[in-house]
Amino acid sequence: MDRDPTLWSATRQAAAIRAGQLTSTSLLEAQLDRIAALDPTLHAVVTLDADAARSEAAALDDLASGGRYQGPLHGLPVTIKDAIEVRGMRSTGGSATLGGHFPMVDAPAVSRLRRAGAVVMGKTNCPEWSADVQTYNRLFGTTNNPWDPSRTPGGSSGGAAAAVATGMTAFELGTDIGGSVRIPSAFCGICGHKPSYGLVPQRGYLDHPGGGTIDVDINVFGPLARSVEDLQLLLDVLAGPLDEDAVAWRLRLPPPRSTAPAEWRVATWDSHPDAPAAADVRTAVRAAGDVLAGAGARVSEDRPAVDMAESSAVFTALLMAAMSPSLEPADGEAFGGSHFAWLTHQERRQLLCRAWSDFFADHDALICPVAPVPAFPHQQEGTFMDRTLDVDGSSVPMAACVAWTGLVGVAGLPATVVPVSFSAGGLPVGVQVVGPRLEDRTPLAVASLLLERCGGWRPPPLP
């Protein structure tokens, strides 16, 4: 792994380019070779513009030869989730309806990556309108998990996670409304960060024909990578107001509450009757707590004063409203509810947010599951609402897959996912490190130490 730059962290790749040890062109070619070798099995990359990427990489190499660099991501070839608009590149949202959609401009977040020096070479698969915890659609087919192709990589940023896990891209930009960055990160054994709501512009998000012009409730754009250091770097590039708002607004994220583990106050929450979790998942949460306690952190089993059933009900109602534009107008109105209903749920959400705020007055982070199980076998019969999961021999609705992610997402909290252990079947198991709203650097700091103490990122067993 140490000799293969495609498996290095993005931070290390960028440093090697600046040191003259690596060129953008050589890294791009190595990643294109990996795509050619691995993607026939994984089906993660759905659009590729190698010629344009080669031209951009060569131009950046010319800059570097003169001692000039575009930015902190100079020369890094990357893919972008297909739910995000990329200028001049087919961007479909996983729907055949947009099979011929070639945006005229980049989503603002993509523009920021380009300004920082990234080379956008392609797009990765997602379910139609990002509306599943698996990744498949009629346009591009099924994306497979790199740890076991018979299983899902998760959704909806499943193609993104599979590409990162296998070194086909330096990093990825995904979206997360119900866990779409966090679940694939956990299932594929990589790192992912769901920023606080509103921190990263989400214009250019394709969740319906004509979409991308407004901010979608609960939804965020977030990075997927092979190290927490990468997530921190990418958050610095991505976060901030839209250009038109930057006339008056500035973002100043606070530093971590502490970088000394002995000063951290961490709670673990591994199970709840309304949010089942398999033994492998519960073990991972407890193991994460033990690792942090071993580093000197004060670890408890304290809980926020949040009713799980109430939180789930509010999340579900607001999620349905947020996703309703992807339906036909009549169905969307019935699915999404009235504005009066939305305001009522918004009031209920504010009570949940207040409870979380009170909790984080005395705690710096919460460790909890991402999903109730590790990556599960592909299930495409019926609908999302019909399907079930096997949780240690018990059948539970597949909707339980978003119980823990929805708990966090509905309150707009930041959460960093890192792999901490493996299941009895050899699949990676990740946990969420949840932090206080707009204090993203705190869960990132905790997650960084956790990843380091748990052995770091490991490549899946593919050639």
Catalytic residues: 81, 156, 180
CA distance 47 to 80: 10
**Token representation of residue 414:** 């930041």
Cβ contacts of 94-101, under 8 Å, gap ≥ 24? 94/125, 94/126, 94/127, 94/128, 94/129, 94/130, 94/137, 94/139, 94/140, 94/156, 95/128, 95/129, 95/137, 95/139, 95/206, 95/209, 96/137, 96/138, 96/139, 97/209, 98/206, 98/209, 99/139, 101/206
Q: At what angle do helices 329-336 and 308-323 cross, to 10 degrees?
A: 160
Give the Å distances, CA to CA, from 440 to 123, 147, 190, 264.
Answer: 27, 29, 18, 15
Q: ∠ CA 199-201-203 to the nearest 5 degrees?
A: 155
Rounded to whole angstroms, the Cα distance separating 62 from 460 reads 34
